[in-house]
Amino acid sequence: MPLGGNVGHYENFPVASWLCPASLRPAVAAIYQFARTADDIADEGSADAPERLADLAALGEQLDLALQGRDAARWPQLWPPLVAAVQRHSLDPTLLHDLLSAFAQDVRHTASGHTYADLPELLDYCRRSANPIGRLLLQLYSVTGDEALRQSDAVCSALQLINFWQDIGRDLPNGRSYLPQDQLSRHGLTVDDFHHRPDDRAREARLDGPRRAVVQALCAQARELMLQGAPLVHRLPGRGGWELRAVVQGGLRVLDHIAAIDHRTWATRVTVRRLDIPVVLWRCLRM
């Protein structure tokens, strides 16, 4: 996805790319580094779930200390730029805590093998894992209003869902599943049915149609959500609007590629490639 930037792997974040105004890059980079640190705590290394949850709680405590002007000794590199960004742009620290809540939920759910019941439960997770990023960026651009917030939430949740359906084959071996139980039940499937077993051709053939139907329905929901939020591109000024156009069209292009492989993302992971850049740029211009 064309999320821009040069700082790593936190996927729902248009980081400080050349499209971002220079005056906002330090704030965007500071928020990104905070999110990436939390992401690494939740997902990297060999720590067990209780250790990860303790470190995420500590990160939240250190955030509060730093914002209060008190000594935050752990992760000291994070706090000066982040505090400066919060103060300069009047950012809402609750949104940063929402991110930590979502990362902690991921740790707990992975440890317990939790399956999301339906799309509303999954969107509640997106409300804390993805939507805070969009809302923070709106605050940086001084864009206000309920409609803008709704559109931002739709784009961010759609991006999160697209990442989920793009990464089914990557997430399941790592103990993560975001496939909603109601969709699985509707097609007579379980999460285990999405584990790719190419050596068992009879099983793969039997499950192929129902699995494709599930992914197709989930991608249709993500596309609809993205299109609901797409008009936000006209509310963001200058470079910000073009950055968002690229994010929206990049997400839609991933859905195009998923459709092109008949929605078999449990077996093949699609990405936006260099050859897609002219298509994405043309669609950005048409917006």
Which range of 25-29, 110-114, 253-257 scores highest in mean pLDDT? It is 253-257
Nearest to 37, CA basis, from 50, 49, 55: 55
Q: Can you give the residue range of the structural domain that contains 33?
A: 19-114
Looking at the fold, whether 30 and 157 belong to one and the same domain comes out as no
Looking at the fold, whether 143 and 270 belong to one and the same domain comes out as yes
Nearest to 38, CA basis, from 87, 82, 101: 101
pLDDT attached to residue 227:
98
Looking at the fold, whether 65 and 121 belong to one and the same domain comes out as no
Q: Specify the higher pLDDT residue, 149 or 19.
A: 149
**pLDDT bucket at 279, cuts 50 / 70 / 90:** very high
Six token digits for residue 176: 């993560």
Looking at the fold, whether 120 and 99 belong to one and the same domain comes out as no
- Fill in the amino acid letter for 11: E
Looking at the fold, whether 51 and 172 belong to one and the same domain comes out as no
Taking only the tens place, the pLDDT of each residue in 191-227 is: 999 999 999 999 999 999 999 999 999 999 999 999 9
For residue 173, give the 3-state DSSP assignment.
helix
In a domain? residue 175:
yes
In a domain? residue 121:
yes
Looking at the fold, whether 83 and 125 belong to one and the same domain comes out as no
- Using the 3D structure, point to which of 75, 94, 114 is the last residue of a domain: 114
Cβ-based neighbour number of residue 224 at 10 Å: 11
Taking only the tens place, the pLDDT of each residue in 143-163 is: 999 999 999 999 999 999 999
- Largest Cα separation within the chain, whole Å, is 63
**pLDDT bucket at 6, cuts 50 / 70 / 90:** very low
Looking at the fold, whether 248 and 153 belong to one and the same domain comes out as yes
CA distance linking residue 24 with residue 26, whole number of Å: 6
In a domain? residue 1:
no
| Mean pLDDT calculated for residue range 83-111 | 96
Looking at the fold, whether 200 and 69 belong to one and the same domain comes out as no
Single pTM value for the model: 0.90
Looking at the fold, whether 263 and 143 belong to one and the same domain comes out as yes
Indicate the Cα dihedral angle 225, 176, 184, 229, nearest 10°. 0
| Mean pLDDT calculated for residue range 43-68 | 96
Domains identified in the chain, total number: 2
Please tell me the least confidently modeled range out of 232-246, 250-264, 266-280.
232-246
**pLDDT bucket at 12, cuts 50 / 70 / 90:** very low
Please tell me the least confidently modeled range out of 73-87, 210-224, 239-253, 260-274.
239-253
Q: Is 181 exposed, middle or buried (0-12, 13-18, 19+ CB in 10 A)?
A: middle
In a domain? residue 2:
no
Looking at the fold, whether 153 and 235 belong to one and the same domain comes out as yes
- Using the 3D structure, point to which of 88, 114, 140 is the last residue of a domain: 114
- Using the 3D structure, point to which of 65, 83, 114 is the last residue of a domain: 114
Cβ-based neighbour number of residue 73 at 10 Å: 8
pLDDT attached to residue 19:
61
Looking at the fold, whether 67 and 182 belong to one and the same domain comes out as no
pLDDT attached to residue 243:
87
pLDDT attached to residue 9:
43
Which ranges of the chain would DSSP assign to H, the alpha helix?
Answer: 25-43, 49-67, 79-89, 93-112, 119-129, 131-140, 146-166, 168-171, 181-186, 201-229, 238-260, 277-286
Q: Quickly tell me which residue has 């965007």 as its tokens.
A: 28
In a domain? residue 10:
no
Q: In whole numbers, what is the pLDDT of the chain averaged over residues? A: 91
Six token digits for residue 185: 């039940």
pLDDT for residue 8 is more than 90: no
Looking at the fold, whether 49 and 82 belong to one and the same domain comes out as yes
Q: Are the C-beta atoms of residues 182 and 274 closer than 8 Å to each other?
A: no
pLDDT for residue 13 is more than 50: no
pLDDT attached to residue 22:
84
CATH number for the domain harbouring residue 206: 1.10.600.10
In a domain? residue 100:
yes
